[in-house]
Amino acid sequence: MATSNNGTHTRIERIIVLLDSSRAARVALDAAAELAARQHARLLGLFVENTDLLHSASLPFGREIGFTSGRIRPLSSADMERRLRHQPAEARRLLAAAGRRCAVEWSLQVCRGQVETETLAITTPTDLLVLGRIDWARDTGLRFGQLTVRIATTANCSVMVLGEAPQPVQRPILVLYEEPETGDRALAAAMLMARDTNQALTILLPPSADAREEGLEQAARIWARRHKAAVNFMRLPGADAPILVQALRQTGGRLLILSRASHAVRNPANRSLLDEIASPVVVVP
């Protein structure tokens, strides 16, 4: 979803979902199709034939470990090419079924390259990119958060990272409000996603240490009055990943929305929030 500099929201034009053969991608596809229906947006499935995997398969010492069996097997370029030929057809079948179920317009784009590069190249500011979270480390050799944080913090659109299962829409949406400019954009995105549930937004505020932090609540209240949005407030003892996870559990939050500039997303020293959290997270530009 796109937001302007003054914190107003614009319509989501496309919901883009990154597809592969994993269970996480199916969860992401279901969530993306439902979002497309609620937001009256087009649904685009993106399947990237990963050239890194093809390169690994071409190496003489290439091996793969069965996800369920744990067995080590030789990995060949021919095997990988066969899989890549089959998977887009399966992705199209699943995408068509989701489109029929949710009555949304859909299309599939297949490309070959690196997942991160191809994904970032396709997005525009009026898109919402939906990513599943399981199996990325297995497929890329990276810790989950490394790849996802790069996409979430460099994409020119909002990025939704799903947990293992979608949350009921009746639960509240939480918004981390750390400073007015990025906080207003996060609030605009939250209001856009919450408009069909008629629920108040819960605004998470950092600890109050000085006048600046005290002024954040006032700025958020001004935004809420201007946009006629019902809001609740929750003051946090901090804004790192474990505290945000605890806030979601305490409130029964449906999802968390925050800026990509947030320390909880970008923190290079510790595990990112995207590593820690099971609930969906939306990272806005």
List, in sequence order, every residue forming a beta bridge with 258; answer none if it has no partner. 283
Question: What class does CATH assign to 14-161?
Answer: alpha beta
Identify the helix (H) or strand (E) that includes residue 49: strand 42-50
Residue 196 CB contacts under 8 Å (≥ 6 apart), including other chains: 38, 169
> What does the alpha-carbon distance between residue 85 and residue 118 come to, in Å, rounded to a whole number?
18
> 173-280 domain in CATH 3.20.20.30?
no
Phi-psi label, residue 78: left if phi above 0, alpha if psi -120 to 50, beta otherwise? alpha
Encoded amino acid at 8, one letter: T
Looking at residue 29, its pLDDT comes to: 94
Which residue, among 66, 72, 63, 28, has the nearest Cα to 160 in the 3D structure?
28
Neighbours of 57 (CB within 10 A): 19
Which ranges in the chain are annotated with CATH 3.40.50.620?
14-161, 173-280
Looking at residue 229, its pLDDT comes to: 85
Looking at residue 139, its pLDDT comes to: 45
Residue 172 CB contacts under 8 Å (≥ 6 apart), including other chains: 199, 200, 201, 202, 232, 251, 252, 253, 254
Local confidence pLDDT in tens for the 285 residues of the chain: 555 555 555 678 999 999 987 788 888 999 999 999 988 999 999 998 876 555 554 444 444 444 444 445 555 566 656 666 677 888 999 999 999 999 999 999 999 888 889 999 999 999 999 998 654 444 444 444 577 778 888 999 999 988 765 566 678 899 999 888 889 999 999 888 877 667 778 999 988 766 566 788 899 999 989 988 888 999 998 888 888 888 988 888 888 999 988 888 876 555 567 776 778 899 998
Label the pairing between strands 127-131 and 158-161: parallel
pTM of the model: 0.81
**Helical pair 77-102 and 51-58, crossing angle rounded to 10 deg:** 160
